[in-house]
Structure 1
Amino acid sequence: MTTTDKIAPIHPGEVLMEDFIEGFGITQNKLAVSIGVPPRRINEIVHGKRGITADTALRLARYFGTSAEFWINLQSRYELDRAEDIAGEQIASITPIAGRVNCLISTPCWSALPRSEVDWVLWVPRRLERSRQSSSTS
């Protein structure tokens, strides 16, 4: 797929408007009042002039029965797609550093990664400690 064939990134406000506000048959104002934010915030989000913050994600998640991660992931995906559209060729020309942490990018190691958020809380400090120990013995 060439750059000209690529679908434009979808702003999370478009999803909010089409799938949730219109989908539930409510108004932007009703949503804003229900989640305790200024109506302008919702209006700016649905018009692509503002992103979804963590605070807004939490409020939308509670109201619509989704997860905050759903909204944050929509926002992150949008921002990453935009950045790639803008600087993709320049980023692709960056030469990765030699000696990068192979465990985090090689396929066999993925199976050793923790499966839950609780495991991550425990895993990250242990992984950092092992990295420090191997650096100090080198």
Structure 2
Amino acid sequence: MRLQMNRVPTHPGTVLLERILKPRQLSLQKAAVNLGVSAKHLSEITRAMKPVTPSMAYRIELATGFSAEMFLRMQIKHDLYQLRQQHFDDVTAIT
């Protein structure tokens, strides 16, 4: 059964920026240092240009206490929504 969604699920990078970094008045540069990644990479994640990988989700968990699973579930929902907007004409039912 396929659920219809009316809105694009929020990218976890947006949540990281809006709910964690901004309330703490933490710059991307400082947060990148804390997470052990480049500022460019973190910027791409917070602009929804790159996914939150398991490694990044775990880094976020270690640095903030927010669970890696939460960020990964959000990423999966976002990715599946994007995929469901595409057509897979080469896929047929397995019978």
- Would the TM-score normalized by the shorter structure come out above 0.5? yes
Corresponding position of 1:116: none
Corresponding position of 1:31: 31
**More helix per residue: 1 or 2?**
1
Q: SS of 1:56's equivalent? A: helix
Query: Using the alignment, how far apart are the partners of 1:8 and 1:54 within structure 2?
Result: 21
Corresponding position of 1:74: 74
Q: Which structure's CA Rg is the greater one?
A: 1
Structure 2 alignment gaps of length 5 or more: none
Query: Using the alignment, how far apart are the partners of 1:29 and 1:62 within structure 2?
Result: 17
Structure number with the bigger relative contact order (C-alpha 8 A, sep ≥ 6) is 2
CA-CA distance at 1:8 after TM superposition:
2.3
Query: Stretches of 4+ moved more than 3 A in 1?
Result: none
RMSD of the alignment, in Å? 2.3
Deviations 1:34-87 (A, max 9, x none): 111111111000111111111111100111102211111111111011111223
Corresponding position of 1:40: 40
Partners of 2:8 and 2:78 within 8 A in 1: no
Count of aligned positions: 92
Structure 1 alignment gaps of length 5 or more: 99-138
Partners of 1:32 and 1:39 within 8 A in 2: yes
Query: Using the alignment, how far apart are the partners of 1:75 and 1:16 within structure 2?
Result: 12
Taking only the aligned residue pairs, the percentage that are identical comes to 26
What is the TM-score with the length of structure 1 in the denominator?
0.58
What is the TM-score with the length of structure 2 in the denominator?
0.81
**For residues 94 and 10 of structure 1, do their structure 2 counterparts lie closer, same or farther at Cα, with a shift above 3 Å needed?**
farther
